[in-house]
Every structure is written in structure tokens, then in C-alpha cells.
Amino acid sequence: MMTKSGEKSPKKNGVNAPAVADEVDGPLLHSDAPPGELSTWMTNISPTLYDTPIWKLTIPGSHDSGSYGLSVDLGVSPDRPDLQRNIFVRLFKCFSLPTIHRWTKTQSLDITGQLAAGIRYIDIRTASKVDDNNLYFCHGLYGPQVVDMLHQINAFLQQNQREIVFIDFQHFYRLSDDDHKQLTTKIMEIFGRKLVPYSSQLLMDRITLRYLWDKRQQVFVYYRNETGRMEAPVLWPSRCLPNPWANTMSREKLTSFLDTNISGRPPNSMYVTQGILTPSNRYVGLHFYSSLRWDLADACNQCLTKWLEDKSAGTKGPNIVMSDFVEWNGYEIPLKTVKLNEKLALNAYKN
């Protein structure tokens, strides 16, 4: 595998490490290859859990999954109209755009690398671009083309036919009806029969790994625009994936928020735990020289790791666990998240 600079990725135990986007906010250019068990953790899950509804499993996810490819060259994206209008940002791009990049980048690994790291929930924010027919990932800046991200997912699934991925089209910016039609058509075209068709949440207890394997279905797509979703009713509506956001910089407030929300998570439903801290505009302005990773994400990941320690998969446990920089500390969060399923398997075996 090649990096952007054209160098070969480093190897660990003879395996290529996943490519990592070039950093402007720190020395990390590569990551060690993830533990081998993460890339096929669903394939190798305990047989005791084959018939467990998937909403009771714990599943690693990434926040702003396409931010590994954010580019200062493509400019400020429409999810931040305040920055698009800001005179300072427009006049001093050589300073402002790298600062925005450091504070909006939440992932270092590309989609292929995230999937190899056990990530099975992909968070996509989509935007159009003036005088450009393509649709892009966005988070403050424009990133990779959405279609390229989808092709990475499909290539992984073709090679790993017992792995299941959840794609959350969480936000849309400046998409016309034609843009939605283009995107939903492309989703159908790329994944085809791999798509898990939308069905009533009352039937979620029937959707297990064995059920999906038997039907050779591998992809849930949640499309949080109902008008656009009508172009492809096979896609899942927003209400089927609650995704509460703490919107805080405080670790204490975050853990309290996570505890409160997980205790009331709805039954028969997938559910996202957002283990992330969000900086305010004022904080970024005062810490323009730093980055999300060094100021907030590492500390947040330590907090999330501790929060997971006494958790178990199941009805009132976490389901999808979303985090920043998923390779952090030797892939500790994906590893811990997957291991919660072992507790569930042990309890099921005892009963």
C-alpha cells in the first residue's frame, strides 16, 4: 500500500499498515497495522452470538470518517457558512485554512484502514461544490469524494463476506433533489444486493448475523433526508438510528451524558454512542496553534476507554461506539468495544 508521498507503508509482522493521510498537526505519518483479529471480528465472533440481534452487539465506529482526506486546497465547505463569510478566513487563507484543518480532522486512517481496524460504522457528511458535479465529504473543509469512500467500503466487503457495515449519511449541505437522486442511485449501484432493505423496527429482533449471512446482505445505509430517501426506499430513515450528541468540551459532562442516554436507549433499535468532545469557536480561536487531536481527542479517548471498562453489550449497553482517531493507543477503543461482545457471549453461554 502506498502513502500520499509515494512511499510504501511500514510493515508489522509482514503486513502492510493502512495508509494515513499526511498530517499538518503532528508527527504521525503512519500507524502500525491493527491487530489482525479486528479486520474480521464479525466473521470470527463467538457462535453463541450468531443469533443475537445486532442491536445488542457492540460495534466500533468512527466520527467524521472521511476527515482523513480534508484538503486546504478545496476550501471551506458549506457546513460552515460562518467561516465562508469570515473576512479574516478569506483574506489570510495561508494561515486560516491550516488552522481549520487541524481542528476539523478527526481521523488519520482512510476508510480501508478504518475497516481493517474493526470500524463498522461510517459517518458521512455530504456537500456539493460549485461548478463540480461530484459530491464530497465535508467537515469545515472539503474532503474525499463520497463515491470513492463507498468504493473502499464495497471492496472491503467483497473480500470479507461475513462483515457488516453501517453507513450513516448524517448531514447534507447544498444538495439539490438531483444531487440526492444521483447519490442514492450510486449507493444502489455500488452495493446492489449487499444492501439490507429497510424494514420495521419491530422486526429488528430478527436481524442477526446469521440472518444477514444467509441472505448475503452486508450494508445498512441510513439516509437522514427523507425526501432524498424516497428515491431509494431500501435505505433506512433517521429515526432508526438515534445518535445523540453531547456538544461539550467537558469530559465530566460527556460521561454523564453518555450514561443518561444509554440508560434510556430504545429497544429494537441500533444506537450510536458519540464518544467525542467538541471545541467551541472561541476555544479554537484561542488555541489556533494547536489541534483537535492534541488538545481534546487524546484526552477524550482516555475518558471513553475508562467509560467502557464496566460496560457490557446487550439491551442497556452501548451498541455503536463512535470515536476520533481510531488508531489511538494501539487501537484500544475498537479492541475494547469488540471485547464487550465476549462478555455477552459468556453470559449467554452460562444461561
What pLDDT score does 188 carry? 98
- Tens-digit pLDDT profile for residues 220-256: 999 999 999 999 999 999 999 999 999 999 999 999 9
How far apart, in whole angstroms, are the C-alpha atoms of residue 83 and residue 263? 37
> Among 30, 63, 151, 171, which one carries the catalytic annotation?
63
How far apart, in whole angstroms, are the C-alpha atoms of residue 76 and residue 89? 9
Q: Is 335 part of a structural domain of the chain? A: yes
Model confidence band, residue 350 (pLDDT cutoffs 50, 70, 90): low
Q: Is 337 part of a structural domain of the chain? A: yes
Q: Which residues contact 112 (CB under 8 A, 6 or more apart)?
A: 18, 19, 152, 155, 156
DSSP assignment letter at 201: G
> Among 30, 139, 171, 287, which one carries the catalytic annotation?
139
- CATH number, position 148: 3.20.20.190
DSSP assignment letter at 20: B
Q: Is 300 part of a structural domain of the chain? A: yes
Q: Is 308 part of a structural domain of the chain? A: yes
- Tens-digit pLDDT profile for residues 33-73: 788 899 999 999 999 999 999 999 999 999 999 999 999 99
Q: Which domain holds residue 298?
A: 15-350
Q: Could you tell me which of 163, 153, 214 has the C-alpha nearest to residue 44?
A: 163
- Whether the pTM exceeds 0.75: the reply is yes
* Secondary structure (3-state) at 169: strand
* Secondary structure (3-state) at 122: strand
Q: Is 238 part of a structural domain of the chain? A: yes
Model confidence band, residue 197 (pLDDT cutoffs 50, 70, 90): very high
Q: Is 43 part of a structural domain of the chain? A: yes
Strand partners, 20: 109
Percent of the chain with pLDDT over 70: 90
Query: Does 30 qualify as catalytic in the annotation?
Result: no
What pLDDT score does 28 carry? 39
270, 320 contact by CB (below 8 A): yes
Q: Is 5 part of a structural domain of the chain? A: no
Q: Which residues contact 316 (CB under 8 A, 6 or more apart)?
A: 262, 263, 265
Q: Exposed, middle or buried, 16 (CB in 10 Å: 0-12/13-18/19+)? A: middle
The number of distinct structural domains making up the chain is 1
Model confidence band, residue 31 (pLDDT cutoffs 50, 70, 90): low
46, 333 contact by CB (below 8 A): no
* Secondary structure (3-state) at 171: strand
Round the average pLDDT of the chain to a whole number and report it.
90
What pLDDT score does 8 carry? 39
Q: Is 302 part of a structural domain of the chain? A: yes
What pLDDT score does 24 carry? 46
Q: Which residues contact 171 (CB under 8 A, 6 or more apart)?
A: 79, 125, 126, 224
Backbone phi, then psi, for 133, in 5-degree steps? -85, -10
Query: Does 63 qualify as catalytic in the annotation?
Result: yes
What pLDDT score does 249 carry? 97
Residue 97 has pLDDT above 70, yes or no: yes
- Tens-digit pLDDT profile for residues 100-150: 999 999 999 999 999 999 999 999 999 999 999 999 999 999 999 999 999
Q: Which three cell numbers stand for residue 232?
A: 431509494
Q: Which three cell numbers stand for residue 185?
A: 442511485
Instruction: Look at the alpha carbons of 133, 139, 140, 141 in this order and tell me if their dihedral is positive or negative.
Output: negative
